[in-house]
Amino acid sequence: MLQKVYICGVDTTGLPKLTHKENEELMRRLKAGDEAARERFIIGNMRLVLSLVKRFWAKNANADDVFQAGCVGLIKAIDGFDLSFNVKFSTYAVPMILGEIKRYLRDGNSLRVSRSIRDAAYRILKVRESLEEHNEEATIERIAEVMQVQEREVVYALDAISDPVSLYEPVYNKSGDTLQLLDQLFDETQSEDLWAERVALKDAIARLAERERKILTLRYYEGKTQTEISAEVGISQAQVSRLEKNAVAALRKEIS
């Protein structure tokens, strides 16, 4: 995310600064229905939003979207603020702005997580924090014990609130060569060695006699019994057994 945030074509680095006295006067006027004062107050407090948005630079979210979410929180704070509170507007507004930003980041997650699971995950995080504060190792087992739940419930809840990572996320970069997460994934059932073995097996089968190839196909690809094969090929079950053993032996010799 960029340090310079644009919203509706306005560079936030050029936003005006209001003094405490100006804030109070504008607040009184906007509460009396002065729309011009309301607009000036909103623009004059966007720097407060920007200062809070900077906390979320590492969340991989669009800066403009996060800033606008913060502005929504600012407007809600303005509407809900009462002059009789006897507190600075910023004191009242900060929790509302942060809440709106966090709500946007949570709801904007591509993975929809139910409220009950999120609540469970946040309780887990509190337990973990408590254990660490007491210099105790916060293992999955220990957290589950404290919460009196099964370990898989802890794992599931924590996984559910984890931010998804793109397969194209760079994990290593040196001398201009970028290594992506996708490059680190592989299927153990489709390794290069296994692929080579399959090619060698295919070539070895192709060199067998036609009848032996058919017996192996019926036996190992279609799952038929030797008795069923003997009826289909037109030879005895004993002959099928002998031809199958000879073919398997020949294949082992070819690819060993």
Walk along the chain (256 residues) in steps of 10 and give the mean pLDDT of each run: 51 78 91 92 89 71 78 91 84 88 71 69 86 86 91 83 60 58 56 64 84 88 86 89 88 78
Instruction: Give the pLDDT score at 2.
Output: 42
Distance CA 195, CA 186 (A): 13
Instruction: Give the pLDDT score at 134.
Output: 85
Give me 130's structure tokens: 């408590």
What pTM does this model have?
A: 0.43
In eight-state DSSP terms, residue 3 is: S
CATH architecture of the domain with range 111-176: Orthogonal Bundle (1.10)
In contact, 48 and 98? CB cutoff 8 Å: no
Continuous segment of H or E residues that includes residue 172: strand 170-174
Q: Please report, as a single letter, which amino acid is at residue 61.
A: A
Topology of the domain covering 6-107: Four Helix Bundle (Hemerythrin (Met), subunit A) (1.20.120)
What distance, in Å, lies between the first and last C-alpha atoms of the chain? 56
**What are the residue boundaries of the structural domains of the chain, listed by start?**
6-107, 111-176, 189-255
Non-local (6+) Cβ contacts of 162 within 8 A are none
In contact, 83 and 31? CB cutoff 8 Å: yes
Distance CA 47, CA 12 (A): 7
The CATH code of the domain at 189-255 is 1.10.10.10
Instruction: Give the pLDDT score at 1.
Output: 41
- Identical fold for domains 111-176 and 189-255, yes or no, is yes
